[in-house]
Structure 1
Amino acid sequence: MPEQTKQVDKEELAAQLLEVQEIKQPIKFISQQHHLTVEQAYEVQETFAKRRAEKTGKQSNGHKISMTSPATQALFGAKEPAYGTLFEDTIHTGDTEIELASMLSPLLEPEIVFVIKEDLSIGAEEEEILAKSILSAGIEIPDSRFADWFPKFQLMDLICDNGVTGKVVVSDKGRGDLALEEVERIKLTLTHDGKEVGTGFASEVMGNPVTSVAWLTEKLAEKNLFLKKGMVISSGTFLSPIPLGKGQYEADFSLLGKVKLHVN
């Protein structure tokens, strides 16, 4: 049975996750050894993000939001979404090509990406978020430093592992003129090598992806943090995650346009 962890060795757990980043050798779930609270898990994530930035020189530049549907929250015994940190080298702008071998066990999730064009106030709500953001077509590629991870991980594992952040591809085009009701109605069509593999609607993401970002601003406000100009926010998937394979993916979002990902 995992032991109750009262004093979390944040540095040690973050160091283990960072080592995976370097040697590409996944580790066992933290939940198999410890029982962390949500707060403790976020402390590990923050330590990981800080140490990663120090080690790579690539600074944090946004966030990704996970578990934005009741079904995924229920799967992991969560009552709300979770978030992770994006970095300069995890964000790719425009149609992108990646090597599958550069990842560990990646998935693919089509998401609307918010690019913040003006600092938001602490705890900003939907109308302010819309007024100060560009919305773009996006593809998130979740990846984990844990072995055989999806869907077997616990909530604490997801949070410690930086929300299983891999890469985010964001279109170099976008819109900053949509109303809240228009965002809710955006339809996604995902294809792989020209064949349709799924469709979904923005309403799958907490009723509206803008609401997902508002949830994030509230969580950050608890730490006196806010979203800053230039930050990139991946707001939650329209579809259940699919394993990433080789080939050409295209995510087409009505009202927003398309973004392509080629995997070698």
Structure 2
Amino acid sequence: MTETENQLAQQLFNAYQTKHALNANDFTTQLAGEDAAYRVQAELTTLKNQPVGGYKVSLTSATTQKMFDADSPLYGAQVANHFLAAPATVRQGAMMSPLVEVELVFKAKEKLAATDSLEDLWHKTTVAPGLELPDSRFADWFPDLAKNLVVADAAVGGLVVYGTELDTDQRFSSVEDVATPHCTLWHDGEKLVDGAASEVLGNPLKSLQWLVSKLDAQGKAVTAGQRVSSGTFVLPPHLTTGHWQADFDHELGNVQLDVTAD
């Protein structure tokens, strides 16, 4: 790592601890490219000094890739205590500027390999309905934050709330079936948006496969027990106080989250 990269990792960690947002305009020349951004993310993860509970995959639709001027997904490592079993309660002040995404959350039953086919991943994981709350250490980040700053900031990682987990090959009859779930997102009883799993690279298992391959190229892996939030079904609204619920078909069930005022 360069000294500049080390400094950025420390500034992100300080913002993570203090909840004082950084100004993205101050960092427009800090990163030489994506590799540098992932080095900063790795150092930020080390500074958190907590076990890695899994990963989140971002920019898994044509819409979000266009918004962030990208042509492929990106990932962020997530510490273990940022994965919460539903129903969950979160204080609004515990986050900075979060959004709400609806996702499938996979959990590895054994170490995943870059050679795994989609069918292998279908057999080697559990799946659960999920709400991801992306958040950033940069002010006014959505949807204008530079892609490499997104990467450096753990892919704007916040919290992941997951529902009931079941073997993926028991919940879905085939690999292709994983692309077919739909969901509805509600806030305080008001329907906000519908979404479909096919928005996630055509099939959320493809997002998981991309992540496993990307990590392998960096000498890393998804290991047994780690979870992966695989990509949003919907364009995310901002998180506000109140009761949030995502209802999924395919007998996936729902995910409930209450956000309380400070």
- Shorter-chain TM-score: which interval? over 0.9
The residue type paired with residue 43 of structure 1 is R
From 233, 236, 243, the counterpart of 2:238 = 243
Deviation at 1:125, TM superposition (A): 2.5
Alignment partner, residue 231 of structure 1? 226
Per-residue deviation, residues 68-120 of structure 1 (Å, max 9, x unmatched): 01121122221100100111111101210001111101100010000111222
Equivalent-residue separation in structure 2 for 1:239 and 1:34 (angstroms): 31
Q: CA deviation at 1:172?
A: 3.3
Structure 1 SS opposite 2:112: coil
1:3: which partner in 2?
none
TM-score normalised by structure 2 residue count: 0.93
1:42 aligned to which of 32, 35, 38: 38
Q: Aligned residue for 1:203?
A: 198
1:144-172 residue CA offsets vs partner (Å, 9 max, x unmatched): 00011111200011001110000000113
The letter of the residue matching 1:122 is A
Higher mean alpha-carbon deviation, 161-170 vs 220-229, is at 220-229
Corresponding residue of 1:25: 20
Residues 95-104 or 7-16, more deviating: 7-16
Aligned equivalents of 1:69 and 1:218: distance in 2? 18
For structure 1, the residue ranges without an aligned partner over 5 or more in a row are: 1-5
Partner of 1:254: 249
Give the residue type in structure 1 aligned to 2:35: E
Question: What is the SS of the residue equivalent to 2:45?
Answer: helix
Match of 1:95 among 81, 87, 93: 87
| Identity, % of aligned positions | 35
Number of residues paired by the alignment? Answer: 255
Superposed, 1:44-193 pairs within 5 Å as 44-53=40-49, 58-176=50-168, 177=170, 178=172, 179-193=174-188
Cα drift, residue 253 of structure 1: 1.4
CA distance in 2, matches of 1:73, 1:64: 15
- Pick closer, same or farther for the CA change 1:34–1:11 going to 2, 3 Å: closer
Alpha-carbon spacing, 1:180–1:89, altered in 2? closer, same or farther (3 Å): same
Deviations 1:27-78 (CA, angstroms, capped at 9, x unpaired)? 111643434201110010011011112xxxx211110000001121122221
Q: CA deviation at 1:227?
A: 1.4
Could you tell me which runs of 5 or more consecutive residues in structure 2 were left unpaired when the two chains were aligned.
Answer: none
CA distance in 2, matches of 1:124, 1:226: 12
Q: Which residue of 2 aligns with 1:16?
A: 11
Residue 140 of structure 2 aligns to a residue whose secondary structure is: coil
Per the alignment, in what secondary structure is the counterpart of residue 251 of structure 1?
A: strand
1:123 to partner: Cα distance: 4.1
Normalization by structure 1: what TM-score?
A: 0.92
Asked if 1 retains the 8 angstrom alpha-carbon contact of 2:5 and 2:30, the reply is no
Cα drift, residue 175 of structure 1 = 4.0
